[in-house]
Amino acid sequence: MQKRANNEFELGGFNHVSLLCDDMQRSVEFYRDVLGMPLIKTVDLPKRPGGGQQFVFDVGNGASLTLFWLANPTDGRPGHFNPPAGDQDPNVPQWNAAISSLNHVAFEVAPDKFDEYYLRLKEKGVGVGPIRNHDDSEAQEAEELHPGVYCRSFYFRDPDGVLLEFACWTRELTDEDVVHEPKTAADRVATATA
């Protein structure tokens, strides 16, 4: 992936992404034991109402994934801030999620390891969706890998139903890949009334 300059801030990528979990032990078993992420820090949070925990996993290149367990979390709104019960199919990203909610977390994998990792997760009993070859066709996906595919990915879920993705860039992105005008809140209203 070509590095592009940020003229405002010198960012080094993500420091961490934080998720809430229902059962820290179950989540540790998934992220550490199934996905192989080293657990690098644990924190007890006794000052939270009822208490809590924070566990940090190394996801590579200096980035981390932080999981929080809270004794008194707020209730989610099924279908808005979390997937509805029973809708845990890794084939179906939650594109109808509410604004400010998390859609999914994608982990960068090396292109030459992509197919191996897909099979490895299946062998570990993780339900994985189909491999997606993202391209600029009308369907936005190709059945087969070809020179126009710019990213390959597949989805799966953690024990709490958070949608995760393994993804890899397959070609260099250039200025020619930036061709769309950004939509606004007004565009959403116009689409809803059309």
CATH of the domain at 161: 3.30.720.110
Determine what percent of the chain falls in helix, strand and coil, rounding each to the nearest 5.
20, 30, 55
Rg over alpha carbons for the chain, rounded to the nearest Å, is 19
Give pLDDT, residue 46: 80
Asked if 161 and 88 sit in the same domain, the reply is yes
CA–CA separation, 82 vs 148, rounded Å? Answer: 33
CA–CA separation, 135 vs 93, rounded Å? Answer: 18
More confident residue, 166 or 3: 166
Range of the domain at 143: 80-178
Asked if 35 and 115 sit in the same domain, the reply is no
Give pLDDT, residue 174: 84
> Mean pLDDT across the stretch 25-53?
89
- In a domain, residue 158? The reply is yes
Q: What share of the chain has pLDDT > 70, as a percent? A: 81
pLDDT tens for each residue of 6-19: 787 776 778 789 88
Asked if 70 and 84 sit in the same domain, the reply is no
- In a domain, residue 166? The reply is yes
Give pLDDT, residue 95: 44
Asked if 63 and 93 sit in the same domain, the reply is no
Asked if 84 and 63 sit in the same domain, the reply is no
- In a domain, residue 187? The reply is no
Asked if 63 and 90 sit in the same domain, the reply is no
Q: Which of 55, 74, 93 is the last residue of a domain?
A: 74
Where are the extended beta strands (E) located within 78-127? 105-108
Give pLDDT, residue 109: 92
Give pLDDT, residue 192: 59
CA angle 116, 120, 125 (to 5 degrees): 155
pLDDT tens for each residue of 81-104: 554 544 455 554 444 456 566 778
Q: How confident is the model at residue 62 (pLDDT cuts 50, 70, 90)?
A: confident
Residue (of 191, 194, 126, 125) closest to 165 by Cα position: 126
CATH of the domain at 26: 3.10.180.10
Asked if 158 and 119 sit in the same domain, the reply is yes
pLDDT tens for each residue of 147-183: 999 999 999 999 988 889 999 999 888 888 888 788 8
Q: How many domains does the chain have?
A: 2
Asked if 100 and 54 sit in the same domain, the reply is no
CA–CA separation, 115 vs 94, rounded Å? Answer: 24
